[in-house]
Structure 1
Amino acid sequence: MVLDFTLTRTCALRNETMPKLDILQYPDPRLRTVAEPVDAVDDRIRRLADDMLETMYDAPGIGLAATQVDVHERVVVIDVSDEHDDPMVLINPEILETQGAERGQEGCLSIPGYQDMVERAEWVRVRALDSNGEEQEFEADGLLAVCIQHEVDHLNGKLFLDHLSELKRKRAHRKLTKQARMSA
């Protein structure tokens, strides 16, 4: 079965310039908001996904959750391809099953300049709506599995910092809060 998670009108195919959305930065409390399910996949949601893709590519990043752009609906965009030409849009994503565990370096567009080792499942089975509102179920491993878990965490009001030890979390919080105050 071929999965269709790409938008019917991705930013690469459009001639107009899309707006770049503002990405919330840690320690903004809005990053802790739990996103609400999308009731209907309509033009507004497709436009949001298009804008999120443009923002993600511009940042540059490989994943972005709507929570990070202060829209608290369950929408995620991802592109882990080397050429940045394989966008995925996941609406109301659910991780149904996980297997294995691996540690890897993670960063976040909402926490620029900070990375740390995080343990994630090696493999996930996911259900989500695509940009046409069609339910899809698929499996992912490697970087795609990690990215899906990271972005679904955002929808649930969690950050990758929450996966760190208490000591590392406190150190990161102090460092990042100080940086935020200095840049304000």
Structure 2
Amino acid sequence: MAQSTLFASSNHLLSPSDVQSNLNSLLVHPPQRPSRSFKVEFPWDCPNLTCNVGCTHFYHIPSTIRPPTLNIPVLIIGRFDPSDTPFPRRNIWKAQPETAFPLAEGCVVFLEDFGVVSLQRAHTAVMTHIIFNACDESGFTVVQIASVKVEVPPAAQKGPKRGIAFLYNLFH
């Protein structure tokens, strides 16, 4: 029986039983551009915000992510514990507690898996968290990030550089 790979979209590789042999062939014949892969069990675990693939698959990010410049802070994000998430069945990541600066509308930060993004406050209301859309240079939301609500006095709100103009100028 011939082995086959099914593509659900340009970045989603479905995971049939023979996917390991397909991944091994990628190691022998690497793609032209660097690629990063994520194994995804459920749609709400996929790095793609609009994923609707209902089975186990691999998500590929085919582009190279440039390292941040010195003046852009790195934001560490991670998954919520599935048994204790405030957002069940939603593809929202959390800002890790070791973040040394307050997240705010317009902050420009570097995310390891997505590169440099601008944080825009989402219109979703949640009692315990603030949700941000992390937007790339074209304004496309690449991931949603939840941050625990913390009251920050106005004098302490100095954080990373802000604004879409800063993000645009960074790439041009």
> Shared fold (TM-score greater than 0.5)?
no
TM-score normalized with structure 2 length: 0.29
**Structure number with bigger Rg:** 2
TM-score normalized with structure 1 length: 0.28
